[in-house]
A and B are shown apart, each in its own frame.
Chain A
Amino acid sequence: MAIHIVDRRLNPGSKSLENRQRFLRRAKALVQGAVKKSSQERDIKDVLEGGEVSVPIDGMDEPRFRREGGTRDMVLPGNKKFVEGDILPRPNPSGGKGRGAGEGDSEDAFRFVLSREEFVDLFLDDLELPDLAKRKLAEVESQGIRRAGYSTSGSPANISISRTVSRALARRVALRRPSPETLAALEAELETCSEARRVEVLAEIEALKAKIKRIPFIDPIDIRYRRFETVPKPVAQAVMFCLMDVSGSMTEHMKDLAKRFYMLLYVFLKRRYRHVEIVFIRHTDRAEEVDEQTFFHGPASGGTLVSSALQAMHEIVQTRFRPADWNIYAAQASDGDNSYSDGEVTGRLLTDKILPACQFFAYLEVGQEHGLSYEMPNSALWTLYEGLRANGAPLSMRKVNERSEIFPVFHDLFQRRGPQERAAP
């Protein structure tokens, strides 16, 4: 009887993928909760990496008829000292097959690994940018075509003749296909050679001719096709302006909060748009556009003029990002201090220049660690923005003191809403 041995290793794996997706769909609410919880504990950079979440197992269990209680009889191995009639104390008062303390975790929840895609998707699933018109544009993407090397299959129209011929030549050389010159030379020799040599030459000519027949000029394996691939061409693009106050009053903690917020915003925009630009602007009493490294880590100090940053942003928008083509977002983080004289300039800049061009403007006021956000007195900036908002400007503002507040605040700001609703302060 022959035994069949089959190698299945090359079979497509992850037959469970479909089932896994069904499971995720089904457990969406649970997994989403877990994702939110786990992202609070993690560094924002890691949010992009996906990873482990733990999901309460009883939310997903499948019910069966089960029994419990009653009198129980069991036979166990390993008796050491008991004799018939012994009475053993019950291990714990709750009776039954209790779980030992400490091992509860593995029973109540199970951890599993989400891919980066799954994680970010779930994390951002119910978020939306508070902008409608241009977002629609962004989703209708056109596909561009670009050259992408050569392939061994394709349509005849795409045959690359030069590539094919050069490969054919290489093959012919490698296989030592006789050239027509060699043949001609031999035939010429045939005319003049001696009788003895003649037989030899004839045989040689025969052999060469046979070889030429065996090794075709072009073999199907030589043929190469030009390959093209489609690339998404961004139709709508997004730019995010990160405006950060780096004046002397901003502590490292405050910067950290701001940084986290920007990161999230970045992840979020990346999801929605193929093409996201980030512009970092930091300001003290004057503003400058900087790279990321400087933005977060470069030392700076000085007074505070918020309007300088807004002015800088306005200039950049005018030169590089036409509001008609770009979805423009701005997130401003500040401790709320502004010089008194700057208030009016800031307000005007915002209402006249910035806000009309922006899809969304978020203002994040960062506070001291261990402070309570609702106990923070309203700062100069806060009061100013509050006024603008009351007049209907598309501004959202939140106060944040602790790292763990970043996610809820972010979530709150970008929660999917009905068309009429606005992010409340």
Chain B
Amino acid sequence: MSAPNQLLFQGADWDFHTLQRICDTCEQVARDELGLDVYPNQIEVITAEQMLDAYSSVGMPLFYKHWSFGKHFAFQEASYRKGLMGLAYEIVINSSPCISYLMEENTATMQTLVIAHAAFGHNHFFKNNYLFKQWTDADGILDYLEFAKRYVTHCEERHGRLAVEHTLDAAHALMSHGIDRYPGKKSLDLRAEEKRAGRRRAHEESAFNDLWRTVPGTKVKTGAILDVERRRQLLGLPQENLLYFLEKTAPRLRPWQREILRIVRHIAQYFYPQSQTKVMNEGTATYVHYRIMSRLHQQGRLTDGNFLEFLQSHTNVVFQPEFDDPRYSGFNPYALGFAMMQDIERIVTNPEDEDREWFPDIAGKGDAMAVLRDVWANYRDESFISQFMSPHLMRKFRLFHLHDDPADRSGILVDAIHNERGYRRLRRELSRQYDVGFIDPNIEVVDVDLAGDRRLMLRHTVVKGAQLTEADTKRVLQHLADLWSYDVSLSEVDTSGTVLKEYVAHPRSLAAAA
């Protein structure tokens, strides 16, 4: 380890010794001064092309093969070449050890920034946030992906690429509805999951005996029509995890198809916390890198020039265009998250009267890091914003709330602005924008007509008049019907119970699924 007050590096060049030195120094700051608690780190240096590769398989180092990843790759490569998009400086994987990719093109300053950001900021967040603790299995994910990849390849060899592709297409279409939103089930253990899948397969193979086919069947019991309540209970209805429901109850799926649905579902579940914590996750990482970099500069380990280079990237990252700026495309999670973390620090260390009134629990407590670590562990975007968005920050961002009711001919209403009357409403509405329960359409399986044509019935509960887009819905339902093998219907129902629209889809080919 380099002696204190000695430059970590000079100029822009780096080598592996420099990286090691940077890591060690960052770790010192992260652990001793910020009190972060991280998974073991693994830093991997990759090329731009490999970065593009990683992008297209949702950032994971290994993944099963599917055409849509190729599509994403082609898309990203094209926009990268055109210069529309810079590559991200880093990709970080929620696994243990926590893997961060660094691009070889980065300068030494950028590498320091990325290491501070990913290997300590994100890493701490992954390890400590309750959602990740509850839903993801950092130790098992890489092994599980390896298993998934092998399994899909194996299926392709056995059942043909097209059949597998079709199943995967269908599963992907339902991926956002393959998530358990509420805890209650035990958390994922992907290693055990993988073992179970292997045992299942072995059992199926050993239990297969063609002779059973020849045993004369008994007459199917008739008349025993279960009453509706009981039937629903048996099927676990209503069920909003469509993939889970299909995996467990779709009558004509083959075992390997169920396993594929299961894989897609597990992966969707693994990514679920990330979608709920974008602002917090990026805010944490940005705050951490800002603290570490400033500290390194203070200690004389970064030259002024390098620190300026850092500040320039940092400023770009946390830039928030205003709504009338052509660059505006919603809130920048880095900007919002970082601003909120800094604001919390301000409230804790240097509060004003207003802050004392709004945040009696934390205002003036003095130890900013203790408060932040607690926040990072216990909130997700929605609850984080609804708790910690301060009037000070709302004024700083000059937030305002628009209410757009298509029935109102006169125009869009400015419902609240950053003033005494508006603060609470603004905060509520903003946090709602991050409420996943609100963002994804609420679609449930409500019933199956077991006595009749086995039609699967779904319901979309329409909120605030937003209905499903027709073309997409038809295509998703088609996939759903193919998996279910019988008709599928979806009705859109508003809160008063009126049915607004009905869709029906018929399976494309019974024989193919049977």
State the A residues within 8 Å of B (CB). 1, 3-9, 11, 13-16, 18-27, 52, 57, 60, 62-80, 82-90, 95, 106, 110-113
Contacts and interface: CB of A to CB of B under 8 A. Distances in A.
Interface stretch (B2-10, B370-378, B405-413): B405-413
B49 A23 contact: no
A85 B418 CA distance: 13
B466 A76 contact: no
Interface string B450-474: 0000000000101111111101110
A16 B472 contact: no
Given A4-B40, A8-B45, A73 B465 contact: no
B417 A3 contact: no
A67 B52 CA distance: 30
B399 A3 contact: no
B29 to A, nearest CB: 14
Nearest to A20: B70
B460 to A, nearest CB: 8
Contact of A65 (B104, B398, B472): B472
B325 A88 contact: no
B191 to A, nearest CB: 21
Contacts of A85: 413-414
B469 A4 contact: no
Given A62-B169, A63-B473, A71-B404, 14 more contacts: A6-B42, A13-B53, A14-B49, A15-B57, A52-B78, A60-B71, A65-B443, A72-B466, A74-B433, A76-B399, A78-B328, A84-B417, A88-B402, A113-B81
A82 B414 contact: yes
B303 interface: no
A77 B331 contact: yes
Contacts of A79: 323, 398-400, 417-418
9 smallest CB-CB distances across A and B, nearest first, come from: A78-B322, A23-B70, A70-B465, A70-B466, A19-B70, A63-B475, A22-B67, A76-B323, A79-B400
B73 A20 contact: yes
30 contacts: A3-B119, A8-B45, A9-B104, A13-B53, A15-B50, A16-B56, A16-B69, A16-B70, A18-B65, A19-B57, A19-B66, A22-B65, A22-B66, A22-B70, A22-B165, A23-B74, A62-B68, A63-B479, A66-B469, A70-B406, A72-B402, A73-B404, A73-B415, A73-B429, A82-B400, A85-B413, A85-B414, A86-B413, A90-B412, A110-B79
Given A19-B69, A113-B78, A3 B27 contact: yes
Contacts of B464: 70-73
B46 interface: yes
B77 A113 contact: yes
A77 B45 contact: no
B176 interface: yes
Contacts of B467: 67-70
Interface in B253-283: none
Contacts, number: 252
A18 B69 CA distance: 10
A1 B78 CA distance: 40
Given A5-B45, A66-B469, A67-B469, A112 B77 contact: yes
B421 interface: yes
A66 B433 CA distance: 16
B506 interface: no
Contacts of B176: 64-65
B34 interface: no
Contacts of B421: 84
A13 B47 contact: yes
A11 B399 CA distance: 47
A107 to B, nearest CB: 12
Residue of A57, A71, A73 most packed against chain B (CB within 10 A): A73
A91 to B, nearest CB: 9
Contacts of A87: 410-414
B43 A19 contact: no
B331 A23 contact: no
A13 B53 CA distance: 8
Given A64-B472, A72-B404, A75-B429, A4 B43 contact: yes
A18 B152 CA distance: 14
Interface stretch (B18-26, B133-141, B343-351, B481-489): B18-26
Interface in B375-428: 397-407, 410-419, 421-422, 426
A3 B24 contact: yes
Given A9-B47, A62-B172, A74 B404 contact: yes
B53 A73 contact: no
A389 to B, nearest CB: 42
A25 B463 CA distance: 40
B44 interface: yes
B491 interface: no
Contacts of B295: none
A88 B469 CA distance: 26
Contacts of B70: 16, 18-24
A72 B479 CA distance: 30
B87 interface: no
B353 interface: no
Contacts of A66: 441, 468-469, 472-473
Contacts of B504: none
B411 A88 contact: yes
Contacts of B65: 18-19, 22
B97 interface: yes
A26 B472 contact: no
